[in-house]
Amino acid sequence: MKKNLLLCLLLFSNSSFASYQLETVLGDLDDAWSFVFLSEDKILYTEMSGKLKIASLSDKSITNIDNVPNVQYAGQGGLSEVVLDPDFKSNNIIYLSYSAKDKNGKSTLFLSSAELEKDSLINSKVLFEAKAPRRTPVHLGAKIAFLKDGTILLTSGDGFDHREKAQALDNHFGKVIRINKDGSIPADNPFINIKNALPDIYSYGHRNMQGLVVTKSGRVYEHEHGPRGGDEMNLVEPSLNYGWPAITYGIDYSGAVISPFSEKEGMEQPLLHWTPSIAPSDMIYYENDIYPELKNSFLVTALVSKDVKKVTFVNGVFSQESLFSELNERLRNIQASPGGTLYLLTDGPKGKLIKVLPKEL
Amino acid sequence: MKIAKYPFAVLSAALFTVMLITPISSLLNLIWLASVDMPVGLISSLEVILFDFQRMGIALYGVVVVGFAIAFSIAGLISRFSSLAGKYLYAIAGSVAIGMALFLMVELLFQTQLLGGNRTILGKMLHIAGGFLGGYFFYFLISSDKNYTFIIRFLGIFYAYWLLGLSLEWVFTPVNASANFGFVLNELSSDGQNALLRDFTSLFVATFLFSILGVITLNPAWFFSAGIVYFGAGIFNLIAIYAHGTGFNEIFIFEFILGAWPSALALTIILKEKKRV
């Protein structure tokens, strides 16, 4: 991996993608965090304040969904990710991640499932409550993905003030979690028989992971916010330690050294790291044909660099290009519609959903 | 120099306190790293302590100066209108200032604990103890007349300390150092990387040495040498912007500050020596 990093090639160019047309299809989205396509025309999206809504992209109508779990909307917390069950067409089940208070009044990360029945959620069930209590809802992670075997992966951030706990297995700070759809724990989880380790941990030593992708080949990729510098993209494998905060390429916001080390045996190196930070906020692996030049690339939205990084790997060597920087917007989320059209979600109280039209149109 | 006595004492006590409290975060961090079997040694420990002192210390310094200015003013009023007086009043004021500053940084600003060393009870107590000693040092400075060379040397050390941090950053973590100056090191050609690293590193190391030599010898030529380098950087920055059409880079303000600071020290030495003659 180190050899790959040494060989890595960085390319930054806007010029070849300047001809994309970008069309705002929805506006005034209030702190929208994630969205998912119900059809080519309809999206289901979350707003951090705790609202779940369906929007039609053609007639712009917006419908509020009832019975959404109560969330703690503060700091970086609130209603976060929404995803559809892989069998959504037959069971109407969706999954939501969010921050809320635990029984001791501390903030933590929750994962719930529910059936989407017209304009309401029914049969809601809390599948997971992170053992990661914190004073302030920050660094929650909260990304959800499905492995090919149908189990759920959930990212649980390091809670900022609790970063050292990312190296311990008795808590959910800085972990990727794996559970079954009913909340039970898969029998083949890597730490299930390890004393004092929580059995739902899949990998550890992470910071604040806000990109999580499972490719068609079944590989799991995540990216995570570093502190000042050291944003990382990792290939996630069960039981592995990704090093935070014992090894890192970043420094603390205060300027302090987090660790003088950037590598150690037994701790994984990132596939790539961004220094200075770009603040990666979401990621997809694009496998459609609408934009041939983007096929088989990771598309990473960024809050600080205000663009989408197109990342490709060839024989372990990565290349990177900057897309859509002409928007000059903090980008929160990216999704491809069922037909393969790309949509970008901008961050903040006046968020927009932007459709990316292929070059030839 | 008498008029400047109190502001100088606040600035000096704040620096002294920052020197005491930044290693708290560094040491607690190093203890944790060692506890998870990281190969913490002498060099890596020094690297952490020096970097923290320079980078986190600069950020903390402003906070401590404001806190001390308020706390020592109140303590001064109390001592004037009451029978309470002496070193312990200022020492207590210093500890209250640090305690309040750390508390308000969390509650009013960040909602999280930015200072790693302040996350534990022990860390909090050590920070407050640092404030106590800072207040004591303030009392020491205002309670007796100091020779002007003490002040020159103190301000020269402060200047050198800042340059030392920049030098270390360019030597040990050039990617981060470049990023702080707006460069993405990996985007530059190999020759460009080489030029950037050697030129910036030699600039900061040389001016650090000039200022240290000035502190040791009190020869104004050393301070002027550092000043000329940074005045030059500021002037040629402006020429680059307005004569050659490069992008506007406000770093010239800091370059002029870095030029003015040692030049002022050098001029003070010359004037004082003239008076003595």
Helices (H), B105-147: 121-142
Closest Cβ–Cβ partner in A164, A251, A259 for B176: A251
Half-sphere exposure of A251 (CA within 13 A, CB side): 22
The residues with which A212 forms a beta bridge, in sequence order, are: A222
C-alpha–C-alpha distance, residues A197 and A310, integer Å: 37
Locate the chain B residue with the closest alpha carbon to A159: B112
What ipTM was estimated for this complex?
0.88
**Residue keyed to tokens 């004092």:** A196
The candidate with the shortest Cα–Cα distance to A335, out of A308, A312, A305, is A308
Residues of chain B short of pLDDT 50, as ranges, are 1
Chain A residues in contact with B119 by the CB 8 A cut-off are 161
The residues with which A284 forms a beta bridge, in sequence order, are: A299
> What does the domain layout of chain B look like in residue ranges?
5-145, 149-276
pTM, rounded to two decimals: 0.82
What is the predicted pLDDT for the residue at B259?
95
B 169-228 near A (Cβ less than 8 A): 173, 175-176, 179, 184, 186-187
Using a CB–CB cutoff of 8 Å, tell me whether B68 touches chain A: no
C-alpha–C-alpha distance, residues A335 and A323, integer Å: 15
Mutating which of B56, B119, B166, B193 best tests the A interface, going by the most A Cβ atoms within 10 A?
A: B56
Q: Render each residue's pLDDT in chain A as its tens digit; 361 residues.
A: 444 443 343 333 344 444 689 999 999 999 999 999 999 999 999 999 999 999 999 999 999 999 999 999 999 999 999 999 999 999 999 999 999 999 999 999 999 999 999 999 999 999 999 999 999 999 999 999 999 999 999 999 999 999 999 999 999 999 999 999 999 999 999 999 999 999 999 999 999 999 999 999 999 999 999 999 999 999 999 999 999 999 999 999 988 999 999 999 999 999 999 988 999 999 999 999 999 999 999 999 999 999 999 999 988 888 999 999 999 999 999 999 999 999 999 999 999 999 999 876 4
Mutating which of A136, A254, A319 best tests the B interface, going by the most B Cβ atoms within 10 A?
A: A254
Chain B residues in contact with A12 by the CB 8 A cut-off are 187
Backbone angles phi and psi of A155, in degrees to 5: -90, 135
Locate the chain A residue with the closest alpha carbon to B179: A276
Locate the chain A residue with the closest alpha carbon to B118: A161
User: Which 3 state secondary structure label does DSSP give B207?
Assistant: helix
C-alpha–C-alpha distance, residues B198 and A243, integer Å: 31
What is the predicted pLDDT for the residue at B145?
67
Buried b (16+ CB within 10 A) or exposed e, B221-255: ebbbbbbebbbebbeebeeeeeeeeeeeeeebeeb
